[in-house]
Structure 1
Amino acid sequence: MMASCENSSTVHKDGSVMSSTLLFTTGLIGNTIALVILGKHKRDSRRRVSAFYILVTGLVLTDLFGKCLISPVVFVSYASNLTLKALGANNHLCDYFSFSMSFFGLASMFILFAMALECWLSISHPFFYQEHFTKRRVIVIFPVVYIFCLLFCSMPLMGLGSNKQYCPGTWCFINMTMVEQTPSFSVLYATLMAILIASVLLCNSSVAINLTKMYRKQRQRSNSSLSVRDGTRRFAHSEEVDHLILLVLMSAIFLICSLPLTIRAYIGAFAPDNRDEEDLIALKFASVNSIVDPWVFIIFRTSVFRKLASKCCKDSSSTLHL
């Protein structure tokens, strides 16, 4: 069992700068390639860029900025063999790292929710969507999300919670242990994340159900096998289906990466076990999300994957009809 590093001044011997370097490099390359693909899509698109792609671009940029603002602190800590508390006087560096981790994690989740909501409105309420979900209003989403996350994640800095240094001493995050018999700020953070995750899953489920109903109605209205095949082809290549597949993949990754942290936050608040190594694993899962997201988008944009997804949609739709 790894000893607690909460008050240590030197990096724990089990720490590895290679793993941090690999994660940073992978995230940096992935986000950069994703931005190139998005830029190419904007140039090649004959129509104006959709709201969904504006939100995807914002998500990629948020993940990229998060990596660039957080990872260098880790490298400095390893290079000097000093923990974040030892490097920054009065815990300032530790507070910065904790705030950045929580801020970018929550902001990414809000943007992912906005993507799911946009997809749901475009399918379930198309008239409302066309009238109210304009490009200008989509862009306004970002400052609103960032301001809210800034205020919310600043609560520990204002005395409404506390931050903790985790092993090997190159990580800091919200203290997930109950303090003075009062549930910690981590419960509020975890609860908000859980609500957003549930909302994303609910929107995605609703979109999937509505698309299935639309396809069945299309099949029923078809008068010939040729028109059925044409309808299936249109359905399989529709923009809504593409968006849904990408959303489902990103939502699944975010669920896998965020759930451990949510569980550890509730355990630390209501049944503390002081298992720092499990908290650290949960934190690593949370940090991996910003690395995996752009690669999911990159793979999704490849022709091979899109052909495979299209074939799966056709097969599953035919099965449902039978």
Structure 2
Amino acid sequence: MLVSHCCNSSALDADKAPSNQTLRMPGMAPVPCMENLNTTTTSPTAAGLSMTLGIVSNIIALIILAKAYARMRRRSKATFLLFASSLVTTDLAGHVIPGTLVLRLYTPGNAGGLCNQPDGTCHFLGGSMVFFGLCPLFLGCVMAVERCMGVTQPLLHARMVCTAHTKMVVVMIWLLALSVALLPFFHLGTYTYQFPWTWCFIKVLDNTSITDLIFVLLFSGLGLAALAVALVCNTISGVTLVIARLRKKKCQRRSAKSHDIEMVVQLVGIMVTSCICWSPLLIFGLMSVIRSYSGSMEDDLDTYRTLMVTGVRLASWNQILDPWVYILLRRAVLRKIYRITTGRSDLRGSTFRRWEISSFQNSIKRALNRN
């Protein structure tokens, strides 16, 4: 997801001016809204750099995930890796597809349609942003639910969760997000150009209708609900692992497995990143459409336009940060950080070492039980 990375007061002034943005003057063709902006106020450089950074980050994460999945034999970890790979793949597509359309809008002659008459490019870009916005939130939520079940109900998890079920859930998530994104094509909601006219999204300002209100409520409601469920499930998983660790100290047992701790730490990182990046856009969208529909926007239009631009910029960073959460919060990286910060060349007596011994001992016990 990529949007304009440059917006200042001169652009706002250009929008305020009584230009021919939306007026059809006799004998004069309507002018696309991008042509009313000073071209020096917007630049594709920042957008291109953000797109490149996101693509490189997600490709690196995909390579690491593919290598980890190839050598992984533990089914619970393999399920997590499948979900994580789907998340990174979706983030990668979310940079390439909307990013290409946004960069196209910067090209002279490809500015798009009128501000109040979005064209096919705007509809596709708006639908892409809704789809690639909901997918990471849904995937993060499902990953948190799966890990919560694996930590609190391992036997039930072993019976219900498998590779086939994981792939089916991923496909269902994609279909659900696609269904929501296609609703404006069935006249429920509207996609329109957004200030500073280099991106398209749900219509939340300027004469919104009841269908726009319903669509924003659905989009923001689903996103916030996914974040809330992920928060609850990750909290339960974290508390369960802490209790298991404390119980282990009292009973001299090693009940907290290293791969469970590693996955929960990564999920907490993904959840925190999603909350920081997506909550502003979801909340600002709700605030804007409610104020617009109730007719109380008045002189606050510029303020809400700025809030929406800020929210979508933060949301675009989610797809850049998600892969780095997995890359940096792996056990191998944390071990190296531990060695550097403590100055120790070995891990004897450390938490990482105890985690590895615990996993090794559990693996031996499972192998003996099979024999």
Report TM bin, short chain: 0.7 to 0.9
Residue 179 of structure 1: aligned partner: 208
Residue 270 of structure 1: aligned partner: 290
8 A contact 1:11–1:77 mirrored in 2:
no
Unaligned runs of 5+ in 2: 1-8, 16-20, 23-31, 293-299, 343-349, 353-371
Could you tell me how far apart the structure 1 residues matched to 2:36 and 2:259 are?
49
1:242-301 Cα offsets, whole Å, 9 max, x none, are 011111111111001111111111211223442212211111111111111112222223
Q: Which moved more, 1:203-212 or 1:142-151?
A: 142-151
1:38-89 Cα offsets, whole Å, 9 max, x none, are 12212333556610000000001111112111111122221225423369x9
Equivalent position to 1:287, from 316, 326, 339: 316
Root mean square deviation of aligned Cα: 2.8
**Structure 1 runs (4+) greater than 6 angstroms displaced:** 309-313
Shift of 1:168: 2.9
- After superposition, the Cα gap between the structure-2 partners of 1:90 and 1:17, relative to the gap in structure 1 and judged at 3 Å, is closer
Could you tell me how far apart the structure 2 residues matched to 1:168 and 1:263 are?
20
Aligned positions, number:
304
Q: Which moved more, 1:277-286 or 1:191-200?
A: 277-286
Residue 206 of structure 1: aligned partner: 236
The DSSP-based 3-state class of the residue aligned with 1:10 is helix
8 A contact 1:250–1:293 mirrored in 2:
yes
8 A contact 2:281–2:308 mirrored in 1:
yes
Within 5 A, what are the aligned runs for 1:1-322?
1=9, 2-3=11-12, 4=15, 8-10=33-35, 12=37, 13=39, 14-47=41-74, 50-80=78-108, 82-85=110-113, 91-177=119-205, 179-180=208-209, 183-222=213-252, 231=254, 235=256, 238-272=258-292, 273-274=300-301, 275-301=304-330, 303-306=332-335, 308=337, 314=351
Shift of 1:303: 3.2
The DSSP-based 3-state class of the residue aligned with 1:160 is coil
Q: Which moved more, 1:27-36 or 1:1-10?
A: 1-10
Could you tell me how far apart the structure 2 residues matched to 1:125 and 1:39 are?
27
1:147-183 Cα offsets, whole Å, 9 max, x none, are 1111111112211111121233220001123724673
- After superposition, the Cα gap between the structure-2 partners of 1:101 and 1:206, relative to the gap in structure 1 and judged at 3 Å, is same
Amino acid aligned to 2:281: L
Unaligned runs of 5+ in 1: 316-322
8 A contact 2:65–2:81 mirrored in 1:
yes
Structure having greater relative contact order (Cα 8 Å, sep ≥ 6)? 1
- After superposition, the Cα gap between the structure-2 partners of 1:47 and 1:187, relative to the gap in structure 1 and judged at 3 Å, is closer
Amino acid aligned to 1:104: F
- After superposition, the Cα gap between the structure-2 partners of 1:281 and 1:81, relative to the gap in structure 1 and judged at 3 Å, is farther
8 A contact 2:126–2:201 mirrored in 1:
yes
Shift of 1:314: 4.9
8 A contact 2:58–2:323 mirrored in 1:
yes
Higher gyration radius (CA): 2
The DSSP-based 3-state class of the residue aligned with 2:192 is strand
Shift of 1:19: 0.8
Shift of 1:101: 0.4
Shift of 1:10: 2.6
- After superposition, the Cα gap between the structure-2 partners of 1:252 and 1:306, relative to the gap in structure 1 and judged at 3 Å, is farther
Could you tell me how far apart the structure 2 residues matched to 1:297 and 1:16 are?
31
Amino acid aligned to 1:131: R
Shift of 1:302: 7.1
Shift of 1:100: 0.2
Could you tell me how far apart the structure 1 residues matched to 2:218 and 2:69 are?
38
8 A contact 1:176–1:268 mirrored in 2:
yes
